[in-house]
Amino acid sequence: MIQPMQKLSLLIYHKDYQPFLEALREKGVVHIFEDRGRSAENEELKQRLALLKRIGEVAKGFARRQREGVQLPEAELARWRKAATAEEKWAFYRRVFQTGEAAEKAPGDGTLLACLENRFKSVEQREQELAALAKTLGVYAPWGDLPRERMQGLRRAGWELRFFTVASRKYLPEWEEQFNAFLIREEKGQAYFVALLPVGASALPEADEVHFPAESAGELRQRMEACRVDKERLEQTLAEVAPCALADLSEMRVRALERTDVLKVQDASQKLLDEKVIALEGWVPAARAEETAEWLAAEDAVYELSAPAAEDNPPILLKNNRFARLFEFIGELYSLPNYREIDLTPFFAPFFVLFFGFCLGDAGYGLLILLAVTLYKPKAKRALRPVLSLAQWLGVATVVMGCVGGTFFGVSLLDAQIGWLEQFKAYMLDSQDLFNLALIIGVVQILFGMVLKVANLWRQHGFAAALSTIGWLVAILGGGACYGLSRMGYDVTIPLYAVGIVAGLLVFVFNDVRRNVLVNVGAGVWDAYNMVTGLLGDTLSYIRLFALGISSAVLGLVFNDLAINMSGDILVVKQLLMLIILVFGHGVNLFMAGLGSFVHPMRLTFVEFYKNAGFEGGGKKYAPFGKRQ
């Protein structure tokens, strides 16, 4: 659910402004308004944002090179731990990288960052140099190493070796007599040949002359080897220093973010009364409003706490139970709700778990996920544990739906001849039943979404705004109930007329009580067309639950057959090949099916469910001005 917010208005004397901001940061509870127009013109803020981008790029470079077990000698690590200031850090990295570069100004975050950036630039320069040398050396490829001393001797005697290339079909044998030509090789339709000509003689007009670089092939290879060794040394040093650099970059990023926050707050403030008084506005969670008021009173600040006005757009702070909280990051991938609508997270969470289990649909895969996540979770970082808890729920759902569909590592339990399993087969569903179940689940979620839409519209715009949606619910649920009663032998003529009249009035007459009736009828007809076609398409979209579940089961079955039929008959070798095929095949299937089982439930949630629930979104996350971690 969305936590209520209180609007906080502050007036601060200009001499107390900076100390008050520090106190406000320590408190870490007020979400400050941002003036995006003025922030876009703030040069220091632009520089800070550019610095953050540079820090991120350098950190990515070190993260790619960080390797387990590769680190600096303990003596160097001890020096790094003792380096407390930016100057000491800068000196440490200069020594490690064996560079003599000097700082243009007093070493700080920017200079230290430039020192690290230069190491990556050095690697890029080596890579470019290697590519250039390889291209230059490629000139020698058709010819091999040239006998340069003999060629110089020929030149002193008045002759010189000239090197040519021409299309093979254009090479003329008479050139061998006319120009003392010798064919070296033919390759890819090209003829490579040399001619012994007098010094200063004209080139052959039909052929292209080859000019070699001043360095010999051997010298180029030596340069390439030296460059390669130098590049590997740089890469090794980057890998060794990566843990230290990432820690320093993280601290640097925190400092840059804190300064960025201060600049944004300063841009958001307004100077009044000849810049003697500074006004600031923000938001405080209602649950902490009283605590904040007591603190502001102790600070002798002039403040006012008030409820949000209709035109305000407060930030969004979600508070859900332990289960629903696991799904908040999924909802944020699409959009946060706006302040005045219902948070749909706790309502789509059970469906998402069910959809994942339906799509993956293999009890063996579910047990594998559940076991792996449960064993890893105690060792994982604290920030990762909510995601792992979500994975546990998804694993449980996969086990349950795998049992319902009767699939275990691609084996169809319905076809398995196992004595103790016979009593459970009555609870398993075949393909047709699973298809029908997917459609039923889709209808249930769509109708549930429409109920939430009624609640959303009622909450935001009043009961009258929800009449049209209520009419469609009456038509669908009432019509369904009448159909069910008729199949049981009851006469539903009167109830069916009642449902039709009520639904018709709500959809075509009272869809907007502020408009003319005739306009409402026209709008109702258009709404009816969109609703009927939309509901049909939305319902059919849920067939993907059945299709993905069947496809993963079929692929698992295929890999099982491959393991049995392609393993041969040699003892031990057969078992080994079976194991390799099964592990590889089911690993690929689990990865692909797991990815699809996560993506497609999101699609059903964000498109079908959110649309039918009337989700608007556009909320901004509550981000209080406080200390960065």
pLDDT tens for each residue of 275-326: 677 787 888 888 888 888 888 887 777 878 888 888 888 888 888 889 999 9
Report angle CA 494, 495, 501 to the nearest 5 degrees: 90
User: How many Cβ atoms sit within 10 Å of the Cβ of residue 185?
Assistant: 11
Q: What are the C-alpha distances in Å from 455 to residues 307, 369, 423, 452, 462?
A: 22, 37, 44, 5, 9
Question: Whose structure tokens read 């840059």?
Answer: 256
Which of 421-425, 488-492, 611-615 tops mean pLDDT?
A: 611-615
| The pLDDT of residue 274 | 64
| The pLDDT of residue 482 | 86
What is the residue-wise DSSP string for 346-359?
Answer: HHHHHHHHHHHHHH
| The pLDDT of residue 105 | 52
Structure tokens at 460: 């935001």
Contact 269, 24 (CB under 8 A): no
Contact 390, 398 (CB under 8 A): no
User: How many Cβ atoms sit within 10 Å of the Cβ of residue 207?
Assistant: 23
Structure tokens at 103: 């700082």
What does the alpha-carbon distance between residue 35 and residue 43 come to, in Å, rounded to a whole number?
15
Residue 40 has pLDDT above 60, yes or no: no
Q: What are the C-alpha distances in Å from 27 to residues 21, 296, 307, 621, 627?
A: 10, 10, 21, 18, 9
| The pLDDT of residue 393 | 94
| The pLDDT of residue 51 | 82
Predicted TM-score of the model (pTM): 0.73
Residue 65: band (very low, low, confident or very high) from pLDDT cuts 50, 70, 90: confident
Contact 428, 404 (CB under 8 A): yes
| The pLDDT of residue 448 | 92
| The pLDDT of residue 62 | 86
Over residues 316-349, the pLDDT tens digits come to: 888 888 999 999 989 888 889 988 889 999 999 9
Instruction: Tell me the sheet residues that pair with 281.
Output: 9
What does the alpha-carbon distance between residue 450 and residue 347 come to, in Å, rounded to a whole number?
12
Higher per-residue confidence, 264 vs 122? 122
* Residue range 575-583: mean pLDDT, rounded: 84
Residue 602: band (very low, low, confident or very high) from pLDDT cuts 50, 70, 90: very high
* Residue range 128-147: mean pLDDT, rounded: 87
User: How many Cβ atoms sit within 10 Å of the Cβ of residue 490?
Assistant: 11
User: How many Cβ atoms sit within 10 Å of the Cβ of residue 449?
Assistant: 24
What are the two backbone dihedrals, phi and then psi, of residue 584, each rounded to the nearest 5 degrees? -65, -50
Question: To the nearest whole number, what is the mean pLDDT of the chain?
Answer: 84
Percent of the chain with pLDDT over 70: 93
Higher per-residue confidence, 538 vs 425? 538
Residue 371: band (very low, low, confident or very high) from pLDDT cuts 50, 70, 90: very high
User: Coil, helix or strand for 378?
Assistant: helix
Residue 518 has pLDDT above 80, yes or no: no
Residue 49 has pLDDT above 70, yes or no: yes
* Residue range 405-418: mean pLDDT, rounded: 80
| The pLDDT of residue 375 | 92
CA dihedral 513, 514, 515, 521 (to 10 degrees): -10
Which of 17-26, 213-222, 342-351, 378-387 tops mean pLDDT?
A: 342-351
| The pLDDT of residue 344 | 92
Rounded to a whole number of angstroms, the distance between the first and last alpha carbons of the chain is 26
Helix H, strand E, coil C: the string for 230-282 is HHHHHHHHHHHHHHHHHHHHHHHHHHHHHHHHHHHHHHHCEEECCCCEEEEEE
Percent of the chain with pLDDT over 90: 15
| The pLDDT of residue 441 | 92
What does the alpha-carbon distance between residue 102 and residue 100 come to, in Å, rounded to a whole number?
6
Length of the chain: 629
DSSP tag of 207: S
Residue 104 has pLDDT above 60, yes or no: no
| The pLDDT of residue 201 | 84
Residue 567: band (very low, low, confident or very high) from pLDDT cuts 50, 70, 90: low
Over residues 232-268, the pLDDT tens digits come to: 888 888 888 888 888 888 888 888 877 777 777 766 6
Which residues, at least 6 apart from 128, have a Cβ–Cβ distance to it below 8 Å? none
Residue 179 has pLDDT above 80, yes or no: yes
Over residues 461-506, the pLDDT tens digits come to: 888 888 888 888 888 888 888 888 888 888 878 888 888 888 888 8
| The pLDDT of residue 80 | 83
Residue 351 has pLDDT above 90, yes or no: yes
Which residues, at least 6 apart from 442, have a Cβ–Cβ distance to it below 8 Å? 538, 539, 541, 542, 545, 604, 608
